[in-house]
Structure 1
Amino acid sequence: MTPPPSVQWSFRLWVAAVVVGVLGSAFSLATAATVPSGFAAGSGIAGAVIGLLFLAALVYLALRMRQGDHWARLVLAVLGGVSAVFTVVGVLLTAGLGVSLGWVSTVLSLGQAALIVAAILCSYQAPANAYFR
């Protein structure tokens, strides 16, 4: 059975969120202050690797969702919802503490959160619900 347009849109939005996430990670690594070798430098690279693995998992789950796997839609909704909330709270907290992430990082983070929320909403529209039954 061919996925309905809402599921196709959800898939595209998930992929767009992953692309924005990769761009955000690359931008963060490129603009990070030069740190002497040691724990701080290694933790930045480790964080980037973990982030990229998370983004790869999202692509896998989005592919499974597009194939009609209800469990993948549910996992995406939970992981995406938590990610979007933490992103928005993180941006607000850093702004409240007077820490500047830079406008590019802020726009990328909030844009990714918006794409994730839109992807979740698309995957739970009526035609999508019928597809996953």
Structure 2
Amino acid sequence: MTNPNDPYAQQGGYPQGQQPGGYPQQGGYPQQGQPGFPPPPPLGHSDTAAAVKPAAVDTAYLLWLVAAGVSILANIIGFFTAQAILEQTLGDLGPEFRAAIEAQGPSYGGIIFSLIISAIWVVVVMQMRKGANWARILLTVLGAISVLFGILGVFVLFSVGFLGIIQGLLALVGYAAIVGGIVFMFKPESNQYFKAS
């Protein structure tokens, strides 16, 4: 006999688990862990190896951070060498151009812009380490441009004096770190990591 207060009691003449129209109350699909549903296959070696970050990516990461740190330090020194670079440049100009440029003074905008770019650079390097291929490509393109055009400016720094020489040497160390970072980002094990990510 059914109790009218029993919330689980069968109602009105329909068989248990059926609604009017003959549809089951719940989906008739087996769920994982139920009989008739096979367990998922175990992860293969290639599945687990793809998630492991190779040492070459960590080395590239460290080299890019060294390059960013050296760039920041060189730009800080650039605040002190900007006037000497301006005077070096003005030495080759005629008196009318010299007076016009001296009135403006040294330009610190490029140095400030470089410091901002260095901060963004670190963010992109962090994304590269996580396996973002777009970050690897961006670092490669901008790093190559930085090295190519930066080497031209290093020769001016060596003629400015002691701080210019220090700034030039720091720039060369930074360029070497950039080239090393690019090389390590494209080693075969790094390529596999970026393809799997």
TM class by shorter-chain length?
0.7 to 0.9
Matches for 1:104-115 after TM superposition, within 5 Å: 104-115=166-177
Q: In the alignment, which residue of structure 1 is the partner of 2:83?
A: 33
SS, match of residue 121 in structure 1: helix
More helix by share: 1
Report if the CA contact (8 A) 2:77-2:167 is conserved: yes
- Quote the Cα distance in structure 1 between the aligned partners of 2:190 and 2:179: 16
Whether the aligned pair in 1 keeps the contact of 2:56 and 2:190 (CA below 8 Å) is yes
What is the number of equivalent residue pairs in this alignment? Answer: 126
Q: Which 5+ residue runs of structure 1 have no aligned equivalent?
A: none
Q: Does 1:71 align with 2:134?
A: yes
Separation of aligned partners in 1, 2:192 and 2:173: 29
Match of 1:21 among 71, 90, 95: 71
* 1:97-129 superposed Cα distances (whole Å, 9 cap, x missing partner): xx7143211101111111100000000001000
| Aligned equivalents of 1:3, 1:49: Cα separation in 2 | 34
Render the CA deviation track for 1:51-82: whole Å, top value 9, x for unaligned: 01111121111111001110100000000000
Alignment of 1:1-133 (within 5 A): 1-33=51-83, 39-41=104-106, 43-44=107-108, 46-92=109-155, 94=156, 100-101=159-160, 102-133=164-195
Partner Cα separation in structure 1 for residue 63 and residue 137 of structure 2: 16
* Aligned-partner residue type, residue 51 of structure 1: S
Q: What is the identity, as a one-letter code, of the residue corresponding to 1:69?
A: A
Normalized against structure 1, the TM-score is what? 0.84
Identity %: 31
- From the CA coordinates, give the structure whose radius of gyration is larger: 2
Gaps of 5+ in 2: 1-50, 87-102
CA distance in 1, matches of 2:114, 2:165: 21
Instruction: Work out the CA distance in 1 between the residues paired with 2:81 and 2:181.
Output: 29
Greater relative CO (CA pairs within 8 A, separation 6+) = 1
Name the CA shift for 1:49/1:32 in 2 (closer, same or farther; >3 Å): closer
Question: Secondary structure of the equivalent of 1:33?
Answer: helix
